[in-house]
Structure 1
Amino acid sequence: MGGGALPVEGRRVCSVSELTAAIQRVIEGSFPAVLVRGEVSRLTRHASGHLYFTVKDAKAALSAVLWRSTAARLRRLPEEGGEYIFQGHLSVYPPRGGYQLVVRALRPAGEGALALEFVRRKEEWAARGWFDAARKRPLPPLPRHIGVVTSPTAAAWQDVRKVLAVRPAWLRITLAPAVVQGAEAPESIARALRGLAAVAPDVILLVRGGGSMEDLWCFNDERVVRAILDAPAPVITGIGHEIDLTLADLAADLRAATPSNAAERCCPDRAALAARVAGPERLRQLAFGAVASARERLAGVERRLLRTVPRERDRWCHAQARATQGVIAAYARRLRRLRGVHDGLAGRLLRQDPRRQLRLRRQRLQLAQSRLQQVPVRLRRMRHHYRAAALRMRQQAPRLVVRQGRLRDLQTALHRQAMRRVHACRQRWLAADRTLRALDPHRVLERGYVMVRREEDGRLVTRAIEVGRGDALGLRFVDGSLSVVVR
């Protein structure tokens, strides 16, 4: 058979279309639903509205398509360079002979981690009681002052203003501007909520338009949640849309679906207030009912007074008697304390009598004079002792010189004896070291000898007669050991 011939006899030859169709059945049947994570590149929007792009990672790339009908219902479209998790299926495009990913849904790759962190924070803060219904404050039925925390350039602020424009004219609105997206947003929102305490609003609206989980993540920050809990007035949140839920919504006193809904729920409009106002007949009935209730309460108060006046009189008399006894006891204690002070002052005055003081000082002067008269006698005695001590010191000087010389001789002899002892000890140590080195088994092994032991009991073998056929021996060399069996 030639080098370029193919063995096709007896074998079926298929066309390109047939082979591609077979591959299409295998691929589309094996991967009807897949999740793929990768980075978007080469994004192209066709005039028909379809999006074509490539999903890639560090080692591979995959063609992908997002049909116009699918793109119309997605809240987020892929962006160049973004990393996403795509849901879809694999499809083969026969005209090009390639396969591609048909995308049905997508989400940013980081949303999965954000969702886990959201659940963790929600469980932890719920355990602290931050979301308990008991913490919720009631809303004022007719607020006069409303504080709004949002961005002054956001559409949410315009929605709130439009709704509050048809509310009662007495409403006062204070805007506390804040950043509502990004790394600076949590601290900015918390600072705005704290700043409203200076103007004391009746209710606070915390609002923002819709967005992705990353856009609204600042409302899941602990600083924002704590600021809502410590806010000076009840807080109504209107963040995103109905499907958007943040931890700030759970901590707020009331959650609204949208910013407009938050403005609607904080205060009724003028038509609702007009419907609440009753007619003249109803007002007259209410007035008569209020007067009748007041008369009944007044009669009840009168009856209680008639029952309680005698008891109150007896209680007052008893209290007056106890107070009188307390005053008498207090004056008696004060009199005893003053008597004690008087006795102390009398004793001090007696001790400070001039005649007594003069007598004491005269006694002290006489004692000092007698001591002064004894000073010359004590000086003569001390001079005699000093002269005797000086004489003894002059007599002991020659003997001290002799003893110093003897001490130096003894120090010299002691040093010589110590040096001889040290030299003798060093010589004995060197001789013992040489003997130990001579008896070292390792040195003996270095000279070619072998140490033989029995394997079964480890006993040292010194004679050939101690070894029999079949005995297992261990041979110790200078660089290792061997096990042998005697034949």
Structure 2
Amino acid sequence: MTRPYITVSALTKYIQRKFQADPYLKSVVVKGEVSNVNYHTSGTLYVTLKDDDASIRVIMFQRDVKRLAFEIENGMSVYIEGFVDVYERFGAYQLYAQSITPDGVGALHVAYEQLVQKLKAEGLFDPSHKRTLPAYPQVIGVVTSRTGAVIRDIVTTVHRRYPLAQVVLFEATVQGERAAPSIVQAIERAERANVDVLIVGRGGGSIEDLWAFNEEVVARALFHCSIPTISAVGHETDTTIADFVADLRAPTPTAAAEMSVPSSVELLDRVKQLERALTYAQRSKIERLRAQIERFTQSVVLTDPLRMHRPHQERLNEMTDRLMRTMRERTDEKRRQLVDETSRLQLVHPRHKVELATRRLQSVTEQMTWIVQTSIGQKKREAGHLVRLLSTLNPLHVIERGFTLPYKGENVITSVEQVDQGDELVLAMKDGKMRATVTSVEKEGNES
């Protein structure tokens, strides 16, 4: 007699129908620790959920994995919502996950922290990559919504502070699933437009509202942007990943506008300061030149020009005396020689000796005469040169140009200290002299 039996497949299907018929197992939330995390190439996520006493295999298909805001890691404590069913091939029951949330903190917070650590490790937050904003930008690009208050606040602030700058809007969706790619496209359009500074931002909101600025694609677009960027997302208390990546972070969009352009009032003040400094420098230079000119006018060269030529006059007089002395000495010497020769001739009477002596005397006389005349001519030329040199310095030549030369007795008056009231002076002019009586004496800065 054959014993009754059922097949493995039939038993498995029976158990599966029991699971599927149980309403409690159709939607359960299970808490546990994640292990054996495996992302399959198909996009399906396989994990093991366990506690101290048991474990269960968990499967999440690709369509649900895509909705996860964070990456599942081993050791995480999570809540998994889904349904329980039997996998026929292995005869094992499994939890088919439809959503996963972290235990203790929100999914968005976990995703935020994970992406921050990832981008920080890659160096996207490194200060060495930060660029300096241009001092005087001409075009300010703004990536934000066209309808929000952000663009109005930025335009108003820029035009108030620096009217020379132009504000160009690169419209983007800043909230929702389409926001991240829209922001990336707007940044790319701004790069092609060659703006000088790019402000990327929006107004305040919840973490979900601002989440587009925490997306990895937006962070990488900001990092690779060739334009200096300012992040202006939400309020001062809001911090997004875009704030870490951008070259500068502004607490509000209005503050971003103030950071992007200089203040025209401050620039005008700076120009006035430079103008005052330049004026002071020019005045100081003029005063130095005036003092230098004053020193030159009081120098000996201008106040007493004859003083420079007095040594030459003395040298000329010395040379003239030496010339005359030399001429007298040589003349006396020749005269003595002549007397000696005459005496010798008188002692030697014969005619031929007389004639011989006479010829010698004549020759010597001619030689002496030539030497004397030559020497005198040379000295005269030297003396004439010196006389002409002195003539150019002669104060009488100054008189010929319309000036007068005052004398008190035989002395030339060079200072008011040499005369007193009532003195009679002689004024030498180019065509004569005239006499004058001193009625008053005035010194520079005083009067008597």
TM > 0.5 between the two?
no
Name which one, 1 or 2, has greater alpha-carbon Rg.
2
Tell me the TM-score normalised to structure 1 length: 0.36
Tell me the TM-score normalised to structure 2 length: 0.39
